[in-house]
Structure 1
């Protein structure tokens, strides 16, 4: 017990640094050197491709629903189900550029 008391007093008397070095862990996002114009272009290409795929997906769902109208109700149901997933995917693609920075900044 006595030894613990002495150890606590020695630690309390030890010199401590005045202030730890300041580190900014909440710095804003910054592109690496040389990527200022390249990365937004890549994002634009990906968004363009995703929107094109969404258009093709909606057309495919419509064709499946039209073909499946007579005696192929399963195909029509697959087309209607695919319609939901296509619209959900398009929604995520169109919201991505606004939602991700809001989450990171928030």
Structure 2
């Protein structure tokens, strides 16, 4: 339902680009996902180190390391579920 004076446009389904462009896009997205996963592993290791080092006499560092864990897990969820989220929104 469109209001007066608003043109009625259809919503076409996404169409894959030509083969070479689709391959390049898939490669780029794969690299970004790989980089994100490597970054997340590094962040988990860094949070663990902060928690281990901050165990004695540096409890603020341990707290900061523990507070980083939900952010890292949230980032991982976004990285791994990005295509599903975009597909759901479309």
Same fold (TM over 0.5): yes
2:54 to 49, 61, 68: 68
Mapped partners of 1:27, 1:103: distance in 2: 15
| TM-score of the pair, normalised by structure 2 | 0.83
Alignment deviations for residues 61-96 of structure 1 (CA, whole Å, 9 cap, x no partner): 000000000000000000001111111101111010
| Match status 1:42 vs 2:2 | no
Query: What is the Cα deviation at residue 31 of structure 1?
Result: 3.5
Alignment deviations for residues 44-71 of structure 1 (CA, whole Å, 9 cap, x no partner): 1100000000000000000000000000
Query: What is the Cα deviation at residue 24 of structure 1?
Result: 6.1
Question: Which runs of no fewer than 5 residues in structure 1 stay unpaired?
Answer: 1-22
2:70 to 81, 84, 92: 84
Runs of 4+ off more than 6 Å: none
| TM-score of the pair, normalised by structure 1 | 0.71
Aligned-residue CA RMSD (Å): 1.5
Question: Which runs of no fewer than 5 residues in structure 2 stay unpaired?
Answer: 1-7
Taking a change above 3 Å as real, the CA distance of residues 38 and 24 of structure 1, as seen in their structure-2 partners, is: farther
